[in-house]
Amino acid sequence: MPAVVTLQPPGRPVRVLVLLAHPDRGHSRVNAHLQHHLSRRFAEPTAALEVVLRDLYSLYPDFAIDVEAEQQALARADLIVWQHPLQWYSMPALMKLWLDEVLTHGWAYGHGGHALAGKDLWLVLSTGGSEAAYQPQGYNRHFFDAFLSPYEQTAALCGLRFLPPLVLHGAHAIDTTALEAHAEVYAQRLASWPDWPEIADLPDCPACDTPAQDRPSARGSQP
């Protein structure tokens, strides 16, 4: 599959950008299936949306991210999706580097940095741990939400509305039928955005500015 796939059915498209980050795509079952499902689902000409899939590990096997291309893709999108397997309670390394390099001060956040303000961010994650493992009594010792704070605050800093994530727990135990059902939920959610019932209940994203002294003046790209 090519690294960038644009699926553009007729009609006024809602623009969705899916950033997929899987460091071992050849051995992926869940995220690979989701990727294929989106490709098939939105190839049909009835959906009134444009879905751009950017497979970061295919685009940047050398980790040399094209910041301008990434920012252009972001600027064009209405809904931004970060899809990845959870690794060490966080995102894969290239996804983190993508944040470091693409979400620059003065563009994505901070003084004058409003390029993403008003867009939506949606996490689509898979975990090896089961839902029971993400409980105070489980081996991960916390509810899953506790691991989402850095994502949520990253969104807030950039003026992105943080949508309730879609999480598949127990990725290695899921059977094919349940995986296919999950993939269809994912596709239906994309197809129906922004008409999600829970969006009406979400608070507006508060304005979030970063004081100048909180970052190095010379480079100025860190929060």
Ligand X SMILES: Cc1cc2nc3c(=O)[nH]c(=O)nc-3n(C[C@H](O)[C@H](O)[C@H](O)COP(=O)(O)O)c2cc1C
Interacting residue ranges for ligand X, rule: CB under 6 A: 22, 28-31, 85-89, 126-129, 171
Rounded to an integer, what distance in angstroms lies between the CA atom of residue 35 and that of residue 191?
15
Rounded to an integer, what distance in angstroms lies between the CA atom of residue 70 and that of residue 26?
24
Rounded to an integer, what distance in angstroms lies between the CA atom of residue 15 and that of residue 222?
28
Q: Nearest distance from residue 149's CB to ligand X, in Å? A: 15
Task: Read off the DSSP letter of residue 198.
Answer: G
Instruction: Using the minimum distance from each CB to ligand X, give the nearer residue, 147 or 196.
Output: 147
Instruction: Using the minimum distance from each CB to ligand X, give the nearer residue, 183 or 205.
Output: 183
Task: Read off the DSSP letter of residue 206.
Answer: P
Calculated CA dihedral for residues 38, 25, 132, 147, nearest 10 degrees: -90
Q: Nearest distance from residue 82's CB to ligand X, in Å? A: 14
Instruction: Using the minimum distance from each CB to ligand X, give the nearer residue, 126 or 154.
Output: 126
Q: What sign for the dihedral angle of Cα 16, 201, 164, 75?
A: positive
Instruction: Using the minimum distance from each CB to ligand X, give the nearer residue, 78 or 152.
Output: 152
Q: Nearest distance from residue 210's CB to ligand X, in Å? A: 28
Q: Nearest distance from residue 154's CB to ligand X, in Å? A: 18
